Amino acid sequence: MPVPHRMPPNVPAPAGRVRRRAVLVGGAVAAACGVAMARQAPLLLRFSHVVAPDTPKGQMALRLQALLHERSGGRIRVEIYPDSQLWGDDDEMEALRLGAVEMLAPSLSKFGMAGVPEFEVFDLPFLFRDLAQVRRVTQGRVGRELLERLGRQQMVGLGFLDNGFKQMSAHRPLRRPADFAGLRVRVQASQVLGAQMRALGARPVVLPFGETQRALATGVVDAAENPLSNYLTQQLAPLQPHVTLTQHGYLGYAVVTHPRWWEHLGRADRALVRQALDEALQHGNRLAAGLDQAALASLRTQPGVQVHMLGATNRDALRQAVQPVVEQFRRGVGPELLDAVHGAIGDAA
């Protein structure tokens, strides 16, 4: 079994308003389970993720920690390991299977390689126009059915979380397909994302998120696609001063746990964790668009960073260039699923 390479101290629960509200909202659940909880053993929930605390995922995990602390009277302890400190992209799902972590929120792009290729539907370029469209899929029947499919790979899917739309960064603006020619672009381990970069004439290089910054610094790769909160918090600006607002694809997460741990919890604790997580996800989803806007505003003031808009003509040219990828992967993600996604969005397939 792999050994965690770094064990940071617990991230403290936020105080004040969150705490008071958590007490109120959690009152009913806590009252129902209170007597039983007092007699129950302490419970540890290790939550490992690869991004910074100041992102939708980081903030969602902190809210979960605060809610469970309050509602269990400190009995349920959530230890959060951000920034790939405990597990990274290469080993986090294996760690979950082995019981070396209890909860993860990998990006949807990472479930294809984990044996659930349907999740790569979210990677299809230019599929969603905005987060409202994404939510019609993730928060409805299609989303529920997708979460159930994670059971095939020994995961319990607990909910979806947004980050936002990906933008391109490089040492030059990337407005037109020709601008991508020959660039080595870091991508997540998703077949769709690889094909998308090849369609643009670039060379996709699959790398764990935690290795991306170093790969950009050392010239192993030349460009990357990230939502702005990740670009900002990974300090990519000095390495990749040109950000082109391509908005070409969505990046979101599914929170997962292992069925063994989930079943072992018992009914009362499962309800407690479920309720707290639902609220934490709502919190993260409420924050997502704001963090994206805040990251953009911050980047616009950073010396050296140049933010490039994409006009309608260039956007159409990029969309045309990657359109074959949608056809290519229709079968891979499942034609019925793709039709159901279009149906939920309200588009004709």
Q: Which of residues 242-281 bind ligand LMR (CB under 6 A)?
A: none
Which residue, 161 or 318, is less far from ligand LMR as judged by CB?
A: 161
Q: Which of residues 161-220 bind ligand LMR (CB under 6 A)?
A: 163, 188, 209
Dist. CA 291–CA 282, nearest whole Å: 14
Question: What Å distances lie between residue 302 and 73, 232, 295, 308, CA to CA?
Answer: 43, 10, 11, 14
Count of residues in the chain: 349
Which residue, 6 or 39, is less far from ligand LMR as judged by CB?
A: 6
Nearest CA to 72 among 20, 17, 35?
Answer: 35
* Contact assessment for residue 211 and residue 349, using Cβ atoms and an 8 Å cutoff: no
Tokens (6 digits) for 3: 């050994």
Dist. CA 23–CA 25, nearest whole Å: 6
The answer to the question of residue 236 lying near ligand LMR (CB under 6 A) is no
Which residue, 108 or 276, is less far from ligand LMR as judged by CB?
A: 108
Q: Which one of residues 33, 37, 51, 68 is an interface residue with ligand LMR (CB under 6 A)?
A: 51
Which residue, 226 or 257, is less far from ligand LMR as judged by CB?
A: 226
Give the per-residue contact string, 117-156, with ligand LMR (x = CB under 6 A; - = no): ----------------------------------------
- Residue ranges with strand state E in the chain: 43-48, 76-81, 103-104, 156-170, 184-187, 203-206, 223-226, 242-257, 306-308
Find the shortest distance in angstroms from Cβ 48 to ligand LMR. 11
The answer to the question of residue 59 lying near ligand LMR (CB under 6 A) is no
Which residue, 33 or 221, is less far from ligand LMR as judged by CB?
A: 221
Q: Which one of residues 43, 50, 134, 256 is an interface residue with ligand LMR (CB under 6 A)?
A: 50
Sign of the four-CA dihedral 284, 289, 295, 301: negative
Find the shortest distance in angstroms from Cβ 227 to ligand LMR. 7
| Count of positions on this chain that bind ligand LMR (CB under 6 A) | 8
**Cα within 13 Å of Cα(95), Cβ side:** 24
Q: Name the site residues for ligand LMR (rule: CB under 6 A).
A: 50-51, 107, 163, 188, 209, 226, 230
